[in-house]
Structure 1
């Protein structure tokens, strides 16, 4: 918990360079070409708990209302990824929350973020992407509480496990939650060791269980990811908010 508090209170100010690389997490293995991994679950009686709140930094979207779009690729190379996020309301018997605003953002196949000057580590140089807006977008939930984005499988940067950032607002624009989505390790292994746009960067240096965000909340932030490198992947995650 102390590591998570440090990240929330100090990471945005200290910058990426403050994160020291941790233990190697996605070891090379013989993962199957097609994988399915289960993420968030609710209890058997239908009750649910609010998803953990996480940091938005160090690279939050500067003007999220400018990116109302479902396709956020913007020419970035990588394995196709369809992102399906369901928003549900713990104050309404865990039912779908329609008309919520959902922003997502994540890094490229080698760890860069748009809108910032970034050095993701791992032998990559600093690049100024302040004029770019790739891999950021906003959608409004439908009657099922669903938003869908077309993107690429995220890469990783030193000190963090692979992840997607999510910020949820109500229909009036009031913030309900900032959280993050984790990726199954076996899928990371497959993508990072076999896909052309990822192999040079290698496997992530931080396991989900060692990550300063996910280490104490992985069970509720780990997504379901299905598919293959050749056919692309689909990520599905349910986020529970109090609205």
Structure 2
């Protein structure tokens, strides 16, 4: 039987006190890499926006805080590295790929679109040819590659290259809510698809928050029962990651349970 987050005190995100050593190590690796190639970290900014928009005004180009990737990024910084595996570049994240067990993540359908903009242009120009790696937990709160019961799976993880509008779109499922963390989706931005599939030179790391009203509706459906109690003990203001401000990380979400939801967020690098 698969264990859940509140059944095992050593599993998954447990707040900044647990994640900070991971984040510190990741930042040190990036700084060392930057010193070797002359690269520099650049600020990450973002705003909730219509996914069809390819630009925004400088006044709306608000900085998004860089966040911890958590203990289970699967990018090689904390053990397993899925980014170098054939098949990781994909739109549909619901199925495992390659030499995995080949399972499929169940849940309410979610289409996620991130629009990556260029900070140097005041958020006016899209970043064509960048790459975004996305990962999140399943409806039961488990992370593929790490959580007992799904260590042989690699679903709900994938990379795409941004198009001419600076956009990437993933087909996935609505993530569950596990003990101690607000419902969220992790993402990393890379300068290019080549960088992403080599798991090197991460530009920025952040997290996307999902709105409460949508979470309440989704968690009332079959398979998300544990999320109801977990969400009831949380708020965005008390979450270890989003409590210092979440306005620029809260996705705009539309749709419904039967046909699925669409989440959009604009981020600037």
Call closer, same or farther: CA 1:65–1:98 in 2, change over 3 Å. Answer: farther
Q: Deviations over 1:13-58 (max 9, x none)?
A: 9xxxxxxxxxxxxxxxxxxxxxxxxx72698654513321000111
Contact 2:254 2:261 in 1 (8 A): yes
Bigger drift between 3-12 and 148-157 goes to 3-12
Cα distance in structure 2, aligned partners of 1:152 and 1:201: 14
Higher relative contact order, chain-length normalized (CA < 8 Å, sep 6+): 1
1:220 partner SS: coil
Alignment of 1:167 onto 2:188: yes
What residue number does 1:85 align with? 114
Alignment of 1:218 onto 2:231: no
Contact 2:183 2:209 in 1 (8 A): yes
Question: 8, 13, 17: which is aligned to 1:6?
Answer: 17
Call closer, same or farther: CA 1:231–1:84 in 2, change over 3 Å. Answer: same
How far is 1:132 from its partner? Answer: 1.0
What residue number does 1:154 align with? 175
Alignment of 1:104 onto 2:162: no
Q: TM-score, normalised by structure 2?
A: 0.70
Q: Deviations over 1:122-175 (max 9, x none)?
A: xxxxx2422210100000000101000000000011000000000000025231
The two structures, once aligned, show a CA RMSD in angstroms of 2.3
How far is 1:239 from its partner? Answer: 1.1
Alignment of 1:129 onto 2:176: no
How far is 1:198 from its partner? Answer: 1.1
1:189 partner SS: helix
Q: TM-score, normalised by structure 1?
A: 0.77
Alignment of 1:113 onto 2:143: yes
Gaps of 5+ in 2: 1-13, 25-46, 50-54, 75-80, 96-103, 196-200
Cα distance in structure 2, aligned partners of 1:200 and 1:151: 20
Which has more strand, going by share of residues?
1
Call closer, same or farther: CA 1:207–1:201 in 2, change over 3 Å. Answer: same
Call closer, same or farther: CA 1:219–1:43 in 2, change over 3 Å. Answer: farther
2:165 partner SS: coil
Alignment of 1:56 onto 2:82: no
